[in-house]
Every structure is written in structure tokens, then in C-alpha cells.
Amino acid sequence: MSRDTYKWAADGLIDGSAPLNSIPHADLQGGDLCVVIKQGDCAYHYVYDGLSEASQDVPNVIAPQDAGANPGRWLLHRVYDTFVRVNLKSEYNNGTVSSNTTINWNNGNNQRITLGGNITLTFSNMGVGHKQLKVIQDGTGGRTPTLPSGKWPGGTESDFSTGASVEDILSIYYDGINYYYQLTKGWA
């Protein structure tokens, strides 16, 4: 594994539903990386030192709960006190919709929606950066989504696929003012 690849993610240091110290000691290897994102707080970047016997000193040194007397500690590498929200969860499913819908990007940077009718989409909590929306036609097909005004390659808006059960992937870059769209069509 490359040292610049996050193998682990957590939602707290020693508390939360999936804290850093709850990752099983037996599953860890020296050099593992973990990012801990605390809601409304900051992001912590840790490196696991499999030989360290340092005393726990939150947030600088975190020992796995089940480590006992064994060596191995999470060592704080860097704190990002202002950061763009990183969502490490899997794709968020907005379900099948047949009326106008708001995509809340706080649910994740990668989302999906199944069209059950012609709808108008709006975006909330977009934040500057890249997002992706998988747009799926239901079993009937022929559904058309309308997007917030934005820019397209060559200045021409792409049409979504309309075949039954076909999937398109809409890539969106938002610079804080404009939406920039790119559509990859026809996944079936």
C-alpha cells in the first residue's frame, strides 16, 4: 500500500460511533493512514507507528483500545482546521423521484438519483469543488432532468440518455459562482 493512500477513516478520536481508537489493533500495519473528520470541527491526519509505545496523549497519540501492552500507536501527522468537507462514505442514494428535488451535497460528493418523472433539480450545500451525480432512468425511461444554469464544454448543453434503466454520470465543478458540467452518457 502506498503511504499516501488512506486505509482507514473515523468520525472521532476516542469517542463517536466509529472512533480512531476502535480500529482493531490486529488489523493495523505500520504506515497505515487514517483521516478523522469530526462534524463541525476539523480533520486530523494520523499515521500508524507499529513500534511506538508512547503514552496516549489525545490528540497527539492515540492507542487502539484493544492494544493492551502491545506496541502500536496512531501519531498525529497534521490537523486541517479549515477544510473542504470530505465524504468517505459510499455513494448516497436519493431514491426514485418524480417531482422537483434538491440534491443536498452534505450527503456526499458522489450521489445517485433515479428519475421517475421529468424533474427540476436544485443543489444545496454545494461548496467549491468537484461532485458527481449518477442519473438513472427508471424502467420506463424517457425522463428528463432540468439542472441549475451552468456551463458546458463548447457552450452546448448535453442531453441526458432516455432509454429505460440507462445510467448517465454528471460531473460538476463549482467555483463558488458557476456550475461547470460534463456528462458521460449511456452506461447500461
Residues facing residue 37 across a β-bridge: 43
So where are the chain's domains? 8-80, 92-187
Looking at residue 6, what is its pLDDT?
A: 61
Q: Which three cell numbers stand for residue 49?
A: 507507528
Strand locations in the chain (E): 8-10, 33-37, 43-49, 61-62, 73-80, 92-97, 101-104, 110-115, 119-124, 129-137, 145-146, 167-174, 179-187
Quick check: 89 pLDDT over 70?
Answer: no
Q: For 11-38, write each residue's pLDDT tens digit.
A: 888 877 788 999 998 899 988 888 887 6
Measured in residues, the chain has a length of 188
Neighbours of 55 (CB within 10 A): 8
Counting DSSP H helices and E strands in the chain, the numbers are: 0, 13
Looking at residue 59, what is its pLDDT?
A: 86
- Confidence at 41, pLDDT banded by 50, 70, 90: low
Q: What is the pTM of this model?
A: 0.56
